[in-house]
Amino acid sequence: MTERPDDPRRGGSFFGRRRGKTLRAGRAATVADALPGLNLDPDALPDELATLFGAEVREVRLEIGFGGAEHLLHRAQEAPNVGFIGVEPFIDGMAKGVAGVVRLGIENVRLYDDDATRLLDRLPSGSLAGVDLLYPDPWPKTRHWKRRFVSEENLARLARVLRPGALFRFASDIDSYVAWTLAHVARSPDFEWTAERPVAWRAPWEGWPGTRYEAKAIREGRVGTYLTFERR
């Protein structure tokens, strides 16, 4: 599946396909009804992101590419006083996120269904308490590595919107992408890897619910790596 024909990022976006199988009628109706009220407009963001949410929240975190929304929904229920923004351009994943928010009656989640970089460029500086990038598309072919989300430009984007001491968390089962990420972060003046011993990157974070992508990796004999970086 390719990007939209009218998408100016076609051939250069950090995500691949936007659509998979046709949504079931009920799921499509839920998305049509609920997504407009949940979806963010990057050009109309308030200075105080906490005002975006129906619940009263003390801080806001971002998950880029939430996939099946397992982690996003779990964290939102785990911390109802934290606001979560979930980004997912793939309509199947977005539909799962919308359906979960509606089913669970969650009021501390907002969503965005396009390129995360556009949102990052419009978020207020120092407005986020954390960013998660979990099992992103690894773009395994060398000629596609430039489409990996972790890059010098995107680390600078993350650094701008994260407050000092905030965490950027990255998970992948692809060794080359893990090495790529560590190399890029090592060159960044804005982040520090927090690991002090192997368990810090071999074990998932506390409260980790697992995701379908992690489960697929395990079935196929791959092991996830979990990296945490602190905004200096």
Q: How far apart are CA 184 and CA 145, in angstroms?
A: 13
In sequence order, the 6+-apart residues with CB closer than 8 A to the CB of 161 are: 62, 120, 123, 124, 125, 126, 127, 128, 131
From residue 230, how far is each of 75, 139, 158, 163, 190 by CA, in Å? 19, 25, 11, 10, 8
Burial profile 36-73: b = 16 or more Cβ within 10 angstroms, e = fewer: eebebeeeebeeebbebbeeebebbbbbbbbbbbbbbb
Instruction: From the candidates 137, 173, 175, 190, give the one annotated as an active-site residue.
Output: 137
Residue-wise burial string across 114-143, b where 16 or more C-beta atoms lie within 10 A, e elsewhere: bbbbebbeebeeebbbbbbbbbbbbbeeee
**175-187 and 152-161 helices, crossing angle to 10°:** 60
Collect all residues with Cβ–Cβ distance below 8 Å to 176 and sequence separation of at least 6.
Answer: 138, 140
137 as an active site residue: the answer is yes
Active site residues: 137
